[in-house]
Amino acid sequence: MGTSVADYRRSIRALLAPLAQREPVVRPLERALGLALARDLAAPLSLPPFDNSQMDGFAVQSGDFGARHEGSVRQFAVAKPIPAGAAPVPLGVGQAAPIMTGAMLPAGADAVVPVERAQPPRFPDATELSDHARVVLPAAEPGSYVRRAGSDVAAGDVVLAAGARLGPAQLGLAAALGLTEVPVRAPLRVAVISTGAELAASGQPLLPGQIYDSNGTLLVAALHEAGIEARATAVRSDDPDALRAVLADCAESADLLVTTGGVSKGAFEATKLALADADVEFVHLAMQPGGPQGIGTVAGVPFLGFPGNPVSCWVSWEVLLRPVLAELLGSPAARPRLRLPLADPLDSPSGKLQVRRARLGDDGRVSLVGGPGSHLLGALAASDALVLAPEDVTELDAGADVEVWLL
Amino acid sequence: MGTSVADYRRSIRALLAPLAQREPVVRPLERALGLALARDLAAPLSLPPFDNSQMDGFAVQSGDFGARHEGSVRQFAVAKPIPAGAAPVPLGVGQAAPIMTGAMLPAGADAVVPVERAQPPRFPDATELSDHARVVLPAAEPGSYVRRAGSDVAAGDVVLAAGARLGPAQLGLAAALGLTEVPVRAPLRVAVISTGAELAASGQPLLPGQIYDSNGTLLVAALHEAGIEARATAVRSDDPDALRAVLADCAESADLLVTTGGVSKGAFEATKLALADADVEFVHLAMQPGGPQGIGTVAGVPFLGFPGNPVSCWVSWEVLLRPVLAELLGSPAARPRLRLPLADPLDSPSGKLQVRRARLGDDGRVSLVGGPGSHLLGALAASDALVLAPEDVTELDAGADVEVWLL
């Protein structure tokens, strides 16, 4: 039934493994979104950097309450307020300092009493402060409403591992640690080359038998969304020389060459013909759609030959290439994978991984969108999930759990 | 217990509703990724544009087989092969034309027999063709292995509705329909202004009581990832005049102003003080974290005041602003929402929506990451999901289903 998808992913991984060894580049945080960290990131400081207040309240020394019992309170002299950002003076015995959320706990304090539990339940104004204001507070446990230094991140901890994808939270963390730049794996540069004598030039009227190329737009957009640099070229003929020339040209500035079309069993398979003497193998995968595939190197650059039908080409990206890049390079992120119940029954060819387009419903079930046909681009555009029916499955009833990848 | 999240989202929606009325802009497909379509898109042509072959095989007229029965076959004269992209000549009676996947079905043909079912099971070569080659084919049903014109998309159909987010599949569909540009809603321009006397300038050493600003980096990256134009500014003081000046400046070129910090109940709330006379309301939401919020207009521009803790600020984006933009403008996409079992028990404050950071496990359960604290940025960076415990929930056992948003 053809090469298994798992085996083929291993072949792609072996082909692309050298890409993980490229020299890291340093990027300012604002230009690192979606890239993968090149090295483990150890925290240069703790977060929080110092003990600070979790609430607007009064900083106190819990020992000042003496022996605590249910309902015990004590009157304190109100010290100088501590706004966030200030370096506070040490707290005297019997003092309580108004302290704002995030402000540094003064030396001598070990707890915070929220302002709404004080009597009176507010901060004294300037006049009251200058007039030796007092406040009555309920007893506090040591550490209450205090965010301890290092309670989120301890200095020296590896907070992000090499290969971690830098999304908003990871970049925010780097900024909180005082970093302004990070070492990242350089984004891949992929050349996408659509092939086929049937491709009309965009903007020109269709002649009989012609279609507009959608694979270039589809794949380049998918790669861009995944944080990969990509550029589309079309070879609108079945002329092997024309394709070889374009491949040679693209190989000069790309880390990966991806063609679409010309890898099947027909009589005019341009990609197969063009690469007959290259270090490229053409295989048939046990996958529907996306069975015919090419893999190898062209002019020393890794090469993948995707099939020409738009859904096959896109499934090849999602199910074959993307998971390998996620595992090997850390970016793009792998798709979230779940097991969810089918809203509809499903037939699947024996011995092949069937990949169907689907929508996640409000009821948590997945509905198939369109049929299995690899030309159903309209249905693809209406889907937000993939359903993967494994090789040994030939039919599933509505309600059966199935593997779902969310797009 | 404060304003409900649902009510507050309605307020944000009302505030931002005029943004949906802006004049659409026309973008080439390669610059439309992640934007929302401004108008319904009707297909200018059908997909496929013409009847074509689903397989490499022989195009035949099914009527040529006469009465079909189990195992019936017939010999055909082999006509000129039809590659993809060619305008085929009509098929004569008793002829079978070699036809490649995607190639146009010739007039007179209504079915395709896959080449592997032919005798011999291959295409004749040039010599055989010039020598009046013949082929024996099994009977075919009308329409078999034919992709009918319009079977994916019929000309005139609305294939994408106004507001549809243009991802790779949607752009690929537009390309297949021959479009080179699309009318889109212009990306929002958001000014993010971090406030607080505790903020150290990035790249400078921390003084006691200071922290590095992470909110600017975090929010701007989140907005960029959502296809929104955003720029960060920091006001590193509690001086209301400084903040007012920055807001006035940003209002000149932004569709939305977002501040972080200074909206709580402390004694030095810069945002509250700066906007005391503005058309801005400060409220407390029944949500943890992210309770204190500001909403209104500043210099005629919509304004949202997010709280200053990084997790609170980010949750405000994810749970309050992003869903409203998704619904109102179509872009960014709403987060996928599921009900999944908890790996851990959960406590939640009565009367508040609790938003916890979590990870989706291989077993389909969600594990909480870090505690509920709004300062836990390290934990946020390790999460890939949100768990939302509704207002009326105070505790959930491990295994209980809970609302999960996948990030």
Write the CATH number for A102: 2.170.190.11
The total domain count for chain A is 4
Reading the block at residue B39, the tokens are 């108008």
pLDDT of amino acid B68: 65
pLDDT of amino acid B13: 98
Contact of A335 with A324, CB cutoff 8 Å: no
Q: Do A377 and B171 touch (CB under 8 A)?
A: no
Looking at per-residue pLDDT, the higher value among A282 and A372 belongs to A282
Which segments of B85-145 are extended strands (E)? 95-99, 111-114, 134-138
The residue-averaged pLDDT of A233-252 equals 96
Tokens 């501590």 found at: A82
The length of chain A, given as a count of residues: 407
Q: What is the pLDDT of residues B51-89, one digit of tens each?
A: 999 999 999 999 998 876 777 899 999 999 999 999 999
DSSP A217: H
In this complex, which of A207, A267, A406 lies closest to B81 when CB atoms are compared? Answer: A267
Determine what percent of chain A is predicted with pLDDT higher than 70.
Answer: 99
d(CA A390, CA A286): 10
pLDDT of amino acid B356: 96
Phi, psi of B224 (to 5 degrees): -60, -45
Q: Are A217 and A313 within one domain?
A: yes
Q: Do A381 and B169 touch (CB under 8 A)?
A: yes
d(CA B60, CA B39): 43
Q: Do A370 and B217 touch (CB under 8 A)?
A: no
Q: What is the pLDDT of residues B184-231, one digit of tens each?
A: 999 999 999 999 999 998 889 999 999 999 999 999 999 999 999 999
Q: Are B314 and B277 within one domain?
A: yes
DSSP A278: S
- Which residues of chain A neighbour B30 with C-beta distances below 8 Å? 217, 220-221
- Which residues of chain B neighbour A376 with C-beta distances below 8 Å? 152
pLDDT of amino acid A67: 72
Contact of B289 with B309, CB cutoff 8 Å: yes
Contact of A54 with A112, CB cutoff 8 Å: yes
Phi, psi of B368 (to 5 degrees): -70, 140
Please, what's the largest Cα pairwise distance for chain B? 97
Q: Are B157 and B41 within one domain?
A: yes
Last residue of some domain: A93, A121, A147? A147
- Which residues of chain B neighbour A114 with C-beta distances below 8 Å? none
Residue B116 burial (C-beta neighbours within 10 Å; 0-12, 13-18, 19+)? exposed
Q: Do A221 and B33 touch (CB under 8 A)?
A: yes
Q: Are B202 and B320 within one domain?
A: yes
CA B62 to chain CA mean position, Å: 45
Residue B74 burial (C-beta neighbours within 10 Å; 0-12, 13-18, 19+)? middle
Neighbours of B258 (CB within 10 A): 27
Reading the block at residue A308, the tokens are 């020409």
> Is it the case that residue A215 has pLDDT exceeding 90?
yes
Nearest CA-CA partner of B343 in B396, B383, B382, B406: B396
The residue-averaged pLDDT of A203-218 equals 95
The residues pairing with B91 across neighbouring beta strands, listed in sequence order, are none
With CA atoms as reference, the chain A residue closest to B372 would be A152
In this complex, which of B29, B202, B238 lies closest to A217 when CB atoms are compared? Answer: B29
Inter-residue long-range contacts of B8-12, CB under 8 Å, 24+ positions, other chains counted: B8/B283, B8/B285, B8/B293, B8/B295, B8/B320, B9/B320, B9/B323, B9/B324, B11/B295, B12/B295, B12/B304, B12/B320, B12/B321, B12/B324
Buried b (16+ CB within 10 A) or exposed e, A302-337: bbbbbbbbbbbbbbbbbbbbbbbbbebbbbbbebbe
CA distance A8 to chain B (A): 23
- Which residues of chain B neighbour A407 with C-beta distances below 8 Å? 167
What does pLDDT average to over chain A?
95
In this complex, which of B100, B180, B221 lies closest to A203 when CB atoms are compared? Answer: B180
d(CA A244, CA A195): 11
Q: Are A197 and A300 within one domain?
A: yes
- A27, containing H or E segment: strand A25-28
Which segments of A51-201 are extended strands (E)? 52-53, 57-60, 73-78, 95-99, 111-114, 134-138, 146-147, 158-160, 181-184, 189-195, 199-200
pLDDT of amino acid B72: 86
Q: Do A54 and B373 touch (CB under 8 A)?
A: yes
Q: Do A176 and B268 touch (CB under 8 A)?
A: no
* A41: CATH: 3.90.105.10
Phi, psi of A15 (to 5 degrees): -60, -40
Q: Do A172 and B406 touch (CB under 8 A)?
A: no
Q: Do B159 and A378 touch (CB under 8 A)?
A: yes
CA distance A315 to chain B (A): 11
Contact of A178 with A44, CB cutoff 8 Å: yes
Q: Are A204 and A300 within one domain?
A: yes
In this complex, which of A172, A174, A308 lies closest to B102 when CB atoms are compared? Answer: A308
Q: Are B156 and B220 within one domain?
A: no
CA distance A324 to chain B (A): 18
The residue-averaged pLDDT of A213-222 equals 97
pLDDT of amino acid B214: 96
> Is it the case that residue A31 has pLDDT exceeding 70?
yes
CA distance B191 to chain A (A): 15
Q: Do B102 and A370 touch (CB under 8 A)?
A: no
Last residue of some domain: B277, B310, B329? B329
CA distance A53 to chain B (A): 11
Q: How confident is the model at residue A191 (pLDDT cuts 50, 70, 90)?
A: very high
pLDDT of amino acid B1: 66
d(CA B342, CA B369): 12
- Which residues of chain A neighbour B171 with C-beta distances below 8 Å? 217-218, 221
In this complex, which of B173, B211, B380 lies closest to A377 when CB atoms are compared? Answer: B173
Of chain B, the end-to-end C-alpha distance in Å amounts to 28
Nearest CA-CA partner of B35 in B329, B328, B333, B331: B331
Q: Do B218 and A171 touch (CB under 8 A)?
A: yes
CA distance B169 to chain A (A): 5
Q: Do A174 and B217 touch (CB under 8 A)?
A: yes
In this complex, which of A101, A268, A338 lies closest to B364 when CB atoms are compared? Answer: A338
Pairing assessment for the beta strands A353-360 and A366-368 based on DSSP bridges? antiparallel
Q: Do A211 and B171 touch (CB under 8 A)?
A: no
pLDDT of amino acid B373: 83
With CA atoms as reference, the chain B residue closest to A359 would be B336
Neighbours of A154 (CB within 10 A): 14
Q: Do B147 and A209 touch (CB under 8 A)?
A: no
* B380: CATH: 2.40.340.10
Residue A123 burial (C-beta neighbours within 10 Å; 0-12, 13-18, 19+)? buried
Q: Are A209 and A294 within one domain?
A: yes
pLDDT of amino acid B399: 97
Reading the block at residue A137, the tokens are 């507070």
In this complex, which of B48, B98, B267 lies closest to A81 when CB atoms are compared? Answer: B267
Q: How confident is the model at residue A68 (pLDDT cuts 50, 70, 90)?
A: low
* A232: CATH: 3.40.980.10
Reading the block at residue B114, the tokens are 């896959």
Nearest CA-CA partner of A314 in A269, A379, A368, A265: A379
Q: What is the pLDDT of residues B88-111, one digit of tens each?
A: 999 999 999 999 999 999 999 999
Helix, coil or strand: residue B226: coil
Tokens 């483990």 found at: A40
Q: Do A103 and B171 touch (CB under 8 A)?
A: no
pLDDT of amino acid A201: 84
- Total CB pairs under 8 A between chain A and B: 306
Nearest CA-CA partner of A379 in B147, B39, B144, B31: B147
Q: What is the pLDDT of residues B120-134, one digit of tens each?
A: 999 999 899 888 999
Q: Are B65 and B136 within one domain?
A: yes
The length of chain B, given as a count of residues: 407
CA distance A132 to chain B (A): 18
Q: Do A147 and B375 touch (CB under 8 A)?
A: yes
pLDDT of amino acid B351: 95
The residues pairing with B401 across neighbouring beta strands, listed in sequence order, are B341
Phi, psi of B243 (to 5 degrees): -65, -45
- Which residues of chain A neighbour B310 with C-beta distances below 8 Å? 172, 176
Residue B320 burial (C-beta neighbours within 10 Å; 0-12, 13-18, 19+)? buried
CA distance A344 to chain B (A): 19
With CA atoms as reference, the chain A residue closest to B404 would be A364
The residue-averaged pLDDT of A39-56 equals 96
Question: By residue range, what is the domain housing residue B33?
Answer: 27-48+151-184
pLDDT of amino acid A71: 78
What does pLDDT average to over chain B?
95
Phi-psi region of A275 (alpha: psi -120 to 50; beta: other; left: phi over 0): alpha
With CA atoms as reference, the chain B residue closest to A152 would be B376
- Which residues of chain B neighbour A222 with C-beta distances below 8 Å? 168
Reading the block at residue B385, the tokens are 């999901």
Residue A403 burial (C-beta neighbours within 10 Å; 0-12, 13-18, 19+)? middle
CA distance A296 to chain B (A): 24
| Amino acid residing at A172 | G
Q: Are B194 and B278 within one domain?
A: yes
Q: Do B381 and A196 touch (CB under 8 A)?
A: no
With CA atoms as reference, the chain B residue closest to A401 would be B364
Radius of gyration over every alpha carbon of chain B, rounded to an integer in angstroms: 31
Q: Are A247 and A283 within one domain?
A: yes
Q: Are B219 and B324 within one domain?
A: yes
Q: Do B103 and A209 touch (CB under 8 A)?
A: yes
With CA atoms as reference, the chain A residue closest to B155 would be A378
DSSP B371: -
- Which residues of chain B neighbour A42 with C-beta distances below 8 Å? none
Contact of B95 with A280, CB cutoff 8 Å: no
Cα A304-B30-A182 angle, rounded to 5 deg: 75
d(CA B71, CA B90): 27
Last residue of some domain: B329, B364, B387? B329
> Is it the case that residue A1 has pLDDT exceeding 80?
no
Nearest CA-CA partner of A356 in A340, A330, A380: A380
Q: Do B30 and A220 touch (CB under 8 A)?
A: yes
d(CA B91, CA B83): 15
d(CA A92, CA A97): 9
> Is it the case that residue B35 has pLDDT exceeding 90?
yes
The residue-averaged pLDDT of B349-355 equals 96
Q: How confident is the model at residue A117 (pLDDT cuts 50, 70, 90)?
A: very high
pLDDT of amino acid B371: 87
